[in-house]
Structure 1
Amino acid sequence: MRLDFKIAQIGLILVCVPLAFELIFIGIYNYLVQQADAEIKYQSSVKDIVYTASSINTFATQMAANVGGYSLTHSESFLNKFLENDAKCIQAFDQLDQQLQDDPEHLAMAKEGRKYGMLGSRLLHDLCDSISRGAGGRDMIAGPGKLVRVKRIIEDLTKSLRTIIKDYLVAAEESPKREAQIRKYLEVVLVFGVSFNILLAIFLAILFGKTITSKIKTIMENTVRVPKGLPLNQPMEGSDELVQLDHIFHSMVDELNDSRKMQQYLIAMVSHDLRSPLTSLQGMLTLLSVGALGELPEKAQAKVELAEADLTRLIKLTNDLLDTERLASGKLDLKILSASMEELIDSALDSVRSFADQHKIKLKAETVPIEVEMDPSRILQVLCNFLTNAIKYAPEGSLVIARCEKDGDFVRASIIDQGRGVPKDKQQVIFEKFQQVEEADAQVLGGKGLGLAICKSIVEQHGGTLGVISENGKGSTFWFRIPIAHQ
């Protein structure tokens, strides 16, 4: 499944989707909390209803007892208690109606109970009136008169209220169970909601992270392929920023390849159309210089030799440029042979000896016999470059040492001079193209800062490393290290 979202959209999804589910879980949790609160309130209301219904029964019974006591004693205290209980009974009925307003079934029972209660209250009031007028007495209480009817009415009232009390007592037993069940649901929703939200966030992060990482990995792989000259991965599909970056990168590489083709064409042109005529011209100047075409006047001889030296530098610069571009593009083929590093150093010293004599520099070899698998001509080029630089920058009468030694599975070659040294901030830079220790060196001592860059490329193509050990004013040791057995 390909997820074609922009990075901003992915960020919005990572925030909004977990947030939406979190709001849902909060809503569910809030609903269950409200249900639990409702159950708690319901339990409280059940207790109130049971208490009120029981109170009505108590008040009705006390009213009958108060009338009985009043008929026997004619005491005003019984009459007052009767009236007080009657008022409380009416108030309790009102309270019960209010409590049962959301329960039509039991409210009807309560109204029926109120009807019995009002009927019994009227009969008891009639009895009290009769007793107050002197018409009542012991015979009235003992006979099957109004008190007997009151007793039956109280029984009917109690029967109606007992049904309400019984139903609500059953509900009171069930309500805590429902409350416990709701609280259990709350715990489940809380645990599940938090866990689900965490897992959802992790899932989305992995899903989108994998997609983004895959695209970044493809782009990084392409950046590695470019300098190696390998074909790029297929352009990615989609419209997000990384896909756009990949398309831009492909376009850039296409333009770079076009530039490389033009560069190769230029190298070929320089090689054929520039170097060949320069070489022919150098040959002609050499013939003139040695008198092969006749003796030249002294001034003419000096001019020819000067022109020959300038032409030699131009040819060397052209060769250095060609070598630099070939090495950078990986077009330089190494011819690996087994050769003696000791003999190669002797050959390098012989190559620069006349140059050393001109600068009055002594040369010395400190070598051991070591057979190395390498391209002898290219390693000789590195040695000659190191030696030439050492001779140019060394003071007259000083010594330049060429040394080689075995270093584990490697051979280490070093050129040691007593020159001005290389500052620490330049010891890495000088191995890059067109870099020298001082800008004035190009005018005073010649060179364009390509030699060490070429040496670096040659050594690295052999699987080795190179560097310089130096202190300013205390000479330098330029060294390289390559495997004895070519990898």
Structure 2
Amino acid sequence: MEITLILATLGTGSMVLKLSQKTALLIVLPFCFEVTFVTVLVNAQKALEAEYEREFKAKDELNLINAELRVMLEAGASLGMYHATRDQNFLERFRRCHADLQKLQKTLLSKSTLENELDVSEFNKGVQEVVTTFDRMEVLVNSGDRLDLMRSVFAGNALAGKISAMGNAILAKANSVNEAQRKNEAKLRTALDYVVLTGLFLNIVGVILMAVVFHKSTTGRLNVLWKNARNITSGLSLEPALTGNDEIAAIDNGLHQMAEALAAARDRELAFTENAVDVICAFDKSGQIQRINRASSNLFGYQAKDLLNTSIFDLVKPSERARSAELLLKATDREVTPFEVTMLRKDGAERIVQWALRWSGIERGFFAVFHDISEQKRTERLRQEVVAMVSHDLRSPLTAVDLSLSMLQAGSYGAIEDKAKMVLARSRESLGRLIAMINTLLDVEKLESGSIKLDYSTVSSKVLLDKAIDTVVALAESKGIGFTSTGSNTEIRCDAEKIISVIVNLLSNAIKFSPADSVISINVIQDLAFTKIDIKDQGRGVPAENKELIFERFKQSEKTDETQLKGSGLGLAICKAIVEAHNGDIGVTDNREGGSCFWFCLPI
């Protein structure tokens, strides 16, 4: 009853136990039931065995009584035959029966039960009197006294009849007792069968009840967890939160918190994507659009809902669809750098769009950001036109002016005064700096636009450094600056002339900003993928806020450098463009001994 109440309480959920407690109950309850069942079964079995034992003892007593009566009759008959025939064999048989009768008496007394102990005792007394009579009759038979023998025979017959009656009474009583025992045994067997069947029934009911309760309190709750986990992945609403303080309720509470966090993240993502300037969309491997934000109306002229379930290739210029499909295929198994695609608006206008793709193996689709670079491309074209204009319409006239001034300075147009020559020299110097600046600017534009082709060759780092040092050694000696070179001599595949110009530029800057009589250190470091060249000076260093800016055009470390140290601010920009054209990297760090450490890396 208590077990049923516990299971009912668990099933209603009014008491939700932890999984460890439920597991303990699933073990303890069947164990207690089985112990109780086995105890009852053993007791019933013992009671039945006791009845069997009593019945066996009663039958044994009856057999002994019957044996005594049989032996007693056989003894009397043997004695009579001996009296009639004087055959010693009958006498020996009589004596054996006499001895057996005494043994049977002792055995019967030792095995008699409380129920028939008095009857057996009286019976044995009568048997003893018969034995005594048999002894007297044996003496009388041998003495030949017929009168006394006859009296003994009559007395023995009377006593034998009495004993026989007593034995029959005991047998009748024993049979009655045996009948009662058999009925009791039948009842005990029925009770044992009832115990077995009842235990089996209760066992089945208990298993079913525990299965139902376990299903309702555990399996059913686990199904709720599984549904909630599936709903989270599908973005659906979760089942109501489970109550209780068990582990399942704790996990379910965590799932609800996760769902709330994901919902908040989706809301933020939706707000971000819907308000983004760029088009953000998702489409499958075939290009079918699954999601797209509102920015599509600005870029393509279509509302987002109108583009759902359409092909992204419908928006691509027909001549570029094959290339776009090929790039999408490559993006499924490796990362693809952003690429440009010409796309069509609803009104037919073309827009140049940069695609940034990411393949999702789980979603089996692409996440893409479309950035409109049409204006940027137009600006680049304008800049290229300006560069072309500067190259043709500005540099050529300046070169012609410089040529005219050189001829005038040389006296080709007649003699001029010394003061005029000095003015012409200063003019030509300023004009030369202007032409050099224009050439440098044109070089930067060509490098950044990729219009300059690199002449790759394999050259050792020692050759590159020696040629660069030879170029600036005169400038270094004028300030008493020396060079030290350490590291390995490694082979580098690059455009040697352009890399030498990078090293020359970095060495020139190091000389320019280093104090007199200092040392510039050059170190070559090689690893598995790159060769790194460090150039360390002992100058004033570069402020942290300017370490990124100095590689931009017209940027210098300090404002005073523009006036105190002559320079256009384009040298490091050219170095950066050349190194990046080699798929390398360039930067600056602080030198631990003071000054700066300019470095660049080139792939091996």
Question: Under TM normalisation by the shorter chain, which class is it?
Answer: 0.5 to 0.7
1:88-133 alpha-carbon deviations (Å, 9 max, x no partner): 1111112212322xx1131222122222222232233123223333
Deviations 1:403-451 (A, max 9, x none): xxxxxxxxxxxxxx9x54865xx8xxxxxxxx76753352465312389
Tell me how far apart the structure 1 counterparts of residues 221 and 72 of structure 2 sit (CA, whole Å). 87
Q: Distance in 2 between matches of 1:436 and 1:176?
A: 89
Does the alignment pair 1:203 with 2:230? no
Q: Tell me by how many angstroms 1:243 deviates.
A: 0.9
Q: In the alignment, which of 165, 171, 196 is matched to residue 177 of structure 2?
A: 171
Q: Distance in 1 between matches of 2:159 and 2:123?
A: 9
Distance 1:216 1:72, change over 3 A: closer
Separation of aligned partners in 2, 1:54 and 1:11? 64
Is residue 320 of structure 1 aligned with residue 216 of structure 2?
no
Could you say which residue in structure 2 is the equivalent of 1:6? Answer: 18
- Separation in 2 of the partners of 1:330 and 1:178? 89
In the alignment, residue 386 of structure 1 is paired with which amino acid? Answer: F
Partner of 1:93: 105
> CA shift at 1:242, angstroms?
0.3
Offset at residue 87 of structure 1 (A): 0.9
Distance verdict in 2 for CA 1:321–1:69, change over 3 Å: closer
Based on CA coordinates, which of the two structures has the bigger radius of gyration? 2
**What is aligned with 1:448?**
356
Return the TM-score normalized by structure 2. 0.46
Question: Residue 71 of structure 2: which of 45, 59, 72 is its match?
Answer: 59
The amino acid of 2:335's aligned partner reads: E
- 1:383-462 alignment, distance < 5 Å: 383=310, 385-389=312-316, 391=318, 393-394=320-321, 420=326, 423=329, 439-443=335-339, 445=341, 446-449=354-357
1:404 matched to which residue of 2? none
1:45 correspondence with 2:57: yes
1:28-427 equivalences under 5 Å are 28-100=40-112, 103-134=113-144, 136-137=145-146, 139-142=147-150, 145-223=151-229, 235-257=241-263, 259=265, 271=275, 315=277, 318-320=278-280, 378-380=305-307, 383=310, 385-389=312-316, 391=318, 393-394=320-321, 420=326, 423=329
Two-structure CA RMSD over aligned residues (Å) = 4.4
Give the drift of 1:256.
Answer: 3.9
| Distance in 2 of aligned mates of 1:208 and 1:67 | 85
Relative distance call for 1:82 and 1:439 in structure 2 (3 A) is closer
Corresponding residue number in structure 2 for 1:414: none
The 8 Å contact of residues 71 and 141 in structure 1, kept in 2 or not, is answered as no
The alpha carbon displacement at 1:4 in A equals 1.7
Query: Residue type matched to 1:126 in 2?
Result: R
Report the secondary structure of 1:449's partner residue: strand
TM-fit CA distance, 1:57: 1.6
Per the normalisation by structure 1, the TM-score is 0.56
> Aligned pair in 2 of structure 1 residues 98, 252: CA closer, same or farther (>3 Å)?
same
Q: Deviations over 1:7-45 (max 9, x none)?
A: 233334334433433343334444444444444444443
Asked if 2 retains the 8 angstrom alpha-carbon contact of 1:70 and 1:128, the reply is no
Which protein has the bigger strand share?
Answer: 2
After superposition, give the CA deviation of every residue in 1:356-390 in whole Å (9 maximum; x if it has no partner).
Answer: xxxxxxxxxxxxxxxxxxx9653247658332347
Q: 1:436·1:449 contact (CA, 8 Å) conserved in 2? A: no
Any conservation in 1 of the 2:16–2:217 contact (CA below 8 Å)?
Answer: no
State how far apart, in whole Å, the 2-side matches of 1:438 and 1:78 are: 122
Q: Secondary structure at the match of 1:447?
A: strand
The alpha-carbon deviation at position 209 of structure 1 amounts to: 0.8
Which has the higher mean CA deviation after the structures are superposed, 1-10 or 242-251? 1-10
Q: Give the equivalent residue in structure 2 for 1:21.
A: 33
Distance (Å, rounded) in 2 between the aligned partners of 1:328 and 1:381: 6
Tell me: CA distance 1:130–1:185, structure 2 relative to 1, closer, same or farther (3 Å): same
Contact 1:321–1:450 (8 Å) recurs in 2: no
Provide structure 1 residue ranges, at least 5 long, that are not aligned to the other structure.
276-314, 333-347, 353-374, 397-416, 427-434, 456-487
Give yes or no for contact 1:6–1:239 (8 Å, CA) kept in 2: yes
Q: CA deviation at 1:254?
A: 4.2
Q: Are residues 264 and 395 of structure 1, via their aligned partners in 2, closer, same or farther at CA, if it must alter by over 3 Å?
A: closer
Cα deviations across residues 236-278 of structure 1 (Å, max 9, x unaligned)? 332221011122223334444554565567669xx4xxx7xxx
Q: Which has the higher helix share?
A: 1
Instruction: Give the share of equivalent positions with the same residue, in percent.
Output: 17
Q: Deviations over 1:387-408 (max 9, x none)?
A: 2347474359xxxxxxxxxxxx
User: Do the aligned partners of 1:74 and 1:131 also contact (CA within 8 Å) in 2?
Assistant: no
DSSP-derived class of the 1:111 partner: helix
Deviation of residue 234 (structure 1)? Answer: 5.0
- Contact 1:6 / 1:240 at 8 angstroms: preserved in 2? yes
Q: Give the drift of 1:182.
A: 3.9
Alignment partners' CA distance in 2, 1:331 and 1:422: 21
Greater relative CO, 1 or 2 (CA 8 Å, sep 6+):
1
* Runs of 5+ consecutive residues of structure 2 not aligned to the other structure: 1-11, 284-288, 342-353, 360-364, 369-604
Relative to structure 1, the CA distance from residue 422 to residue 192 in structure 2 (aligned partners, 3 Å threshold; closer, same or farther) is: farther
* Cα deviation, residue 227, structure 1: 7.1
- Give the letter for the 1:447 counterpart: W
Total equivalences in the alignment: 333
Distance of 1:440 and 1:132 partners within structure 2: 138
CA contact (8 A) 1:74 1:132 kept: no
* CA 1:30–1:321: 2 relative to 1, 3 Å: same
Shift of 1:53: 0.3
Counterpart amino acid of 1:8? Answer: S
Contact 1:14 1:205 in 2 (8 A): no
Moved more, 213-222 or 376-385: 376-385
Distance 1:72 1:381 in 2: 135
